[in-house]
Amino acid sequence: MSDEAKECRLAANDLFKRGLISMALDKYTECIDLLIKNLTSAQQGDNNSGSINNDIACCYANRSLANMKLEMYGSALTDASKAIEYDPTYIKGYYRRAAAYMALGKHKLALDDLRKIAATAENDKFVHSKIKACEKIIHQIRFEKAISVDSRNSRPLAYTIDCDSLAVEGSYRGPHLDESGKVTLDFIHELINHYKEQKILHKKYALKILCNVYDLFAKSPTLIDLTVPSDGKITICGDIHGQFYDLLHIFELNGLPSETNPYLFNGDVVDRGSWSIECILLLLSFKLLYPNHFYITRGNHEAHSINQIYGFQGECRVKYSQTMYELFTEVFQVLPLAYCINERVLVMHGGLFSSDDVTLDDIRKIDRNRQPPDEGLMCELLWSDPMPQDGRAMSKRGIAIQFGPDVTEKFCQRNNLDYIIRSHEAKTLGYERAHNNRCITIFSAPNYCDSMGNDGAFIRLSGSDLSNPEFVQFQASPHPDLKPMAYANPVML
């Protein structure tokens, strides 16, 4: 490796360690380009190029990990495959590719790569534990398919669970719903304090909240039209990802939700952070207390295939039960997919579409009460991302699309919108204006996963001046000593 390439790789590794992942990714790209030039020179000079191939493989594997951190799983998969192409004996390349396959739900392909590693490292207990975890997921998926029934032919759990028959033990010292089983403001204050003490809400009340809120969401349309009066406002938050103490900080900065202080949380409330239960149950409680002034969008992480991997299912099982998780899954399936504010601003979690013909009525007609498909309008609403250049491209995530300024402009013109607000991507400042201010990203999980170093942000929108959103930035709050992904599936590498 040349001195220039060596310095470049060291700089990339340092940026990665400091949590500057996007900058590290660019530096790894620079290093790969330098190494490929070195390789070409070595081949022309008839020198041994084996060590350079290994160096290139190493950089591709490192860039694959950086892409994983940025949730660009499609790019992570491509880089891992490149690492293997340059050095088929490079074990870390297979690890990285297996992780990317798992993130994309391609469990059998991940298992194939893990078994290739095991074939060369028979006594590696780590890889054998990953193989067992991967096999368990595959068996679970087969079992679920074997026993699955069309949800339209079966009564939802929310309508069959008898919450009132559950006893509350005398030793329980947490918050109680009122005598009629309803959420009150006193209950919410007690719940926040209870959660600050790292205690769990009694399962009777958790089940009651889920059953009641299921019915509320199930009666809502897929796209909800919101009216913010000229003398009113609404606060829009992006991804929370189980970062409960940062969620509380938002309420400290902006006040608790109320009829005069409405909120919209734009998806990805759960997964990755290790207090997802606390986040979602608190937000659902606010929805029950203020049904016409508190709103939640479905994100790509409100999905079973993702919750299996990134921690929410595991957290539910530890804190409650598999039945509780299944009830959460039902609730996630009836969350609205989009909101339109004063007929001028569309809010969705991911982004726009692979066709220019999509209208708001098309979104309204989406059958959302299901697990997200791998393509189509629902998939793109949950997964798509903006890009700086015009046109459309395959997503670096490996699902849905990237869309350019021209796509946003046409969509807004076709639907008489001023701009769109979406979330889905960590941003250094907590927000980003793009596409001539027609596409705004808002992200509310500061120092994402305790490693990204980003600010969080939320938007204040005034009904009298929607054209001038106010961005409020904030930094991460201290939290108890529990790492992100504490409940994630152990197959995540």
Positions annotated as catalytic residues are 301
Residue 64: both structure tokens together: 């694959």
Residue 377: both structure tokens together: 């309008």
Question: Which own/partner pairs from 477-481 qualify as long-range (CB within 8 Å, at least 24 positions apart)?
Answer: 477/245, 477/246, 477/248, 477/249, 477/446, 478/245, 479/243, 479/244, 479/245, 479/246, 479/275, 480/198
For residues 376-415, one letter each, b for 16 or more C-beta atoms within 10 angstroms of the residue's C-beta and e for the rest, the string is: ebbbbbbbbbbbeeeebeebbbbbbbbbbbebbeebbeeb
Q: Are 103 and 73 in contact (CB under 8 A)?
A: yes
d(CA 295, CA 261): 12
Residue 386: both structure tokens together: 């903006």
For residues 360-374, one letter each, b for 16 or more C-beta atoms within 10 angstroms of the residue's C-beta and e for the rest, the string is: beebeebebeeebee
Residue with structure tokens 């992780």?
A: 99
d(CA 357, CA 380): 14
Q: Dihedral of CA 202/187/256/482: which sign?
A: negative
263 Cβ neighbours under 8 A, 6+ residues apart:
234, 235, 236, 237, 257, 286, 293, 294, 295
- Quick check: helix, strand or coil at residue 410? helix
First to last CA, the chain: 28
d(CA 71, CA 353): 20
Max CA pair span of the chain: 84
Rounded to the nearest 10 degrees, the angle between the axes of helix 107-120 and helix 91-103 is 160
| Best CA proximity match to 360, nearest among 219, 221, 223, 218 | 223
Checking DSSP bridges between strand 401-403 and strand 338-341, what pairing results, if any? unpaired
Q: What one-letter code names the amino acid at 345?
A: V
268: left (phi over 0), alpha (psi -120 to 50) or beta: left
d(CA 33, CA 302): 38
| Best CA proximity match to 236, nearest among 385, 351, 331, 341 | 341
